[in-house]
Amino acid sequence: MCGIVGYIGESPAAPILLDGLSKLEYRGYDSAGIAVYDGEKIQVQKAIGRLKVLSELTHDGAKMPGAAGIGHTRWATHGAPTNNNAHPHFNGDESIAVVHNGIIENYQKLKKYLEGKGYQFVSDTDTEVVAHLLDYYYKGDPIETITKVMHRVEGSYALGIMFKAHPGILYAVRKDSPLIVGHGKDGNLIASDVPAVLKYTRNVYFIQNEEIAVLSEEAISFFNVDGEEIIKEPSTIDWDINAAEKGGYEHFMLKEMYEQPQTVRDTLNPRIKEGAIVIEELGMSDEEIRGIGRIHIVACGSAYHTGVTAKYVFEGMARIPVDVDLASEFRYRNPILADNDLVIIISQSGETADSLAALREAKNRGVKTLGIVNVVGSSIAREADKVMYTWAGPEIAVATTKAYSAQLIAEYLLAIKFAQVRGEITEQDVRAYLKDLQKLPEQIEMLLGNKGKIQHFANRYISAKDVFFVGRGLDHAISMEGSLKLKEISYIHSEAYAAGELKHGTISLIEEGTLVAAVLTQEELYKKTISNIVELTSRGAFVLAVTNTGNTEIEKAADYVIYIPQTNRWFTNSLAIIPLQLFSYYVSVGKGCDVDKPRNLAKSVTVE
């Protein structure tokens, strides 16, 4: 996501901020900005696009004198990538400047509150509420002010803050978004990640959740949320820059898999208010939701697979008929669309050519469109009638993992909302579903913690020629994604089949030792799939089963079993995908493939 750098010391701050931000480019961004205290006022310069533009505007920082400053690369979440939305953000009289990484979940409520107090907002961002809230509470003591703000804001944040009234000091605070402090020879730094400070120091402090750091040229001190000073020990960094950019992970794909718990929280939590689902950006009245005749989900690749999952959930839970189409098919098949249908286009990049063309086709037919998109301000986000962002942060590995997981969450939320409005489920059901959804991050963490076992298993299959993924119902949907993950990064041929369909032809491919990954998370289909597994093992297949904890009966039929924690039957795909992602990843690593950049593939497919 966004990148933060701050510096206070003897040297000119702006060049150090620009240099630090350049080391955080890997995090993805679409605009950048720096604020430097010049001895009289806090000067700000922002630019849309690459850092190069900001460097040119500031003559590599020379045009912004001063030895204290904060900088930011913004990956748009709330509000398009514009100059107004770029950070740093100011309070009204420009005496407090703020940079932020994360999502302030209750920003709309806070914004309304502050507007009621006469505060004027100039951006669409959630961050600006922090600048005004700091102003609202400021009575001369920055630490007291920051702790008051921490009590009011919900969500995740890493903040770099400058007060004009305290020019020799930088303040930083974090909760659930990364932030470190670097102790340099001629000054001190804050940053989202280690690479930004490595040129200046290898001595860093890792700020923990709800800790405040206070930096001057000579000293660094830390405080807790009650404003009490705490003592922290520095760590010495002995990694190289490349490893550090991946946060110590060997590949971006692994890093992004590990970001999934946070991604799920970020997509889910801002849409849960007082036990209810609030999707403000949907812009549909209850009457309109009740009037939906049919949903058409259109997407490509993994995004399409989340659409297949969503079909089961929308139909099962909300009883709305759903068609799922590959965008490349939809755009040319002259689909039958009615006025009261809803077309949902799902896309991480928001730039996929076929998905964009499908969106335009639906719009030309006068049908309401909703984009579920990750990249803010992308073409699909701009052109869809309404857009629901997934807030997964930038995805760098070509093979999607965290954006896929975020798309599932967005679709579950829509399905629950629609089901409730249409009277298919009760408020009590909604509360139970939300409780299960909120458990998912922790359950995903647990599954990721199991990687050793999966790595061990994957190493046995690096020379496999063909792998089959089977399941029924929702388990078929997840099999499709499991199969795609494996083939795209390990170049092993794999296919996903509805388990009941195998004996209509494909079972002839099963030989002694053929690996079959079977997914069995749907209790009502469990016995049926076990019968299919027996058909496979009796023809020599080696079966890896992924099933719910407690389904130990499977151990008699399958050769190797991975258990996933219990969740509601509609949400099992969010858990079953984790071992399948890990399996593909470790097969790819074991084969020595280029995990993050598989051959022949591009991250954003902007041609049809």
Instruction: Please list, in sequence order, all residues whose beta carbon lies within 8 angstroms of the beta carbon of residue 523, skipping any fewer than 6 positions away.
Output: 548, 569
Q: With respect to ligand F6R, which residue has the nearer C-beta, 193 or 256?
A: 256
Least Å from the CB of residue 428 to ligand F6R: 35
Residue 392 and residue 293 in contact, taking contact as beta carbons nearer than 8 Å: no
Output 45 or 355, the one with its CB closest to ligand F6R.
355
Does the CA dihedral 138-142-143-146 come out positive or negative?
Answer: positive
- 325 vs 488, beta carbon nearer ligand F6R: 488
Token representation of residue 156: 């995740």
Q: Considering beta carbons, is residue 204 or 408 the nearer one to ligand F6R?
A: 408
71-104 CB burial, b ≥16 within 10 A, e <16: bbbbbbbbbbbbeebbbbbbbeeebbbbbbbbbb
> Shortest gap between Cβ of 479 and ligand F6R (angstroms)?
15
State the residues that interact with ligand F6R by CB under 6 A.
Answer: 300-303, 347-349, 352, 355, 399-400, 484, 488, 604-605
Query: Which residues have CB under 8 Å from 586's CB, separation 6+?
Result: 451, 454, 455, 458, 459
**CB count, 10 Å around CB of 48?**
18
Record the tokens describing residue 92, joined without a space.
Answer: 């009204």
Pick 345 or 545: Cβ nearer ligand F6R: 345
CB of 253: closest distance to ligand F6R in angstroms? 9
State which residue, 172 or 362, has the beta carbon closest to ligand F6R. 362
Q: Are 79 and 123 in contact (CB under 8 A)?
A: yes
Radius of gyration over alpha carbons of the chain, in Å?
25
Q: Which listed residue (2, 23, 111, 451) is catalytic? A: 2
Nearest distance from C-beta of residue 379 to ligand F6R, angstroms? 11
**Residues, the chain:** 608
CA 365/CA 353 separation, integer angstroms = 19
Q: Is the Cβ of residue 31 or residue 483 nearer to ligand F6R in the bound state?
A: 483
Write down the catalytic residue from 148, 164, 487, 603.
603
* Dihedrals phi, psi of 407, to nearest 5 degrees: -60, -40
The residue sitting closest to ligand F6R, measured at its beta carbon, is: 301
Q: CB neighbours of 553 closer than 8 A, spacing ≥ 6?
A: 530
As measured in angstroms, the least distance from the Cβ of 601 to ligand F6R is 8
Those residues whose C-beta lies under 8 Å from the C-beta of residue 141, and which sit 6 or more positions away, are: none
What's phi and psi for 311, nearest 5 deg? Answer: -60, -50
DSSP 8-state code for residue 530: H
Closer by beta carbon to ligand F6R, 71 or else 371: 371
Kindly state the smallest distance separating residue 356's Cβ from ligand F6R, in Å: 9
Q: Is 603 a catalytic residue?
A: yes
CB 13 within 8 Å of CB 36: yes
| Least distance CB 308 / ligand F6R (angstroms) | 12
Tokens of 133: 């809230």
Smallest CA-to-CA distance from 101 within 350, 438, 393, 409 is with 393
Half-sphere exposure of 476 (CA within 13 A, CB side): 13
Concerning whether 300 is annotated as a catalytic residue, the answer is: no
Instruction: CB nearer to ligand F6R: give 473 or 598.
Output: 598
Of the pair 399, 470, the CB lying nearest ligand F6R is at 399
Q: Residue-wise over 282-300: b if at least 16 C-beta within 10 A, else e?
A: bebeeeebeebebbbbbbb
Give the Cβ contact number of residue 364 at 10 Å: 8
**DSSP result, 161-228:** EEETTSTT-EEEEEEBS--EEEE-SSEEEEESSGGGTTTT-SEEEEPPTTEEEEE-SS-EEEE-TTS-
Catalytic residues, by residue number, are 2, 603
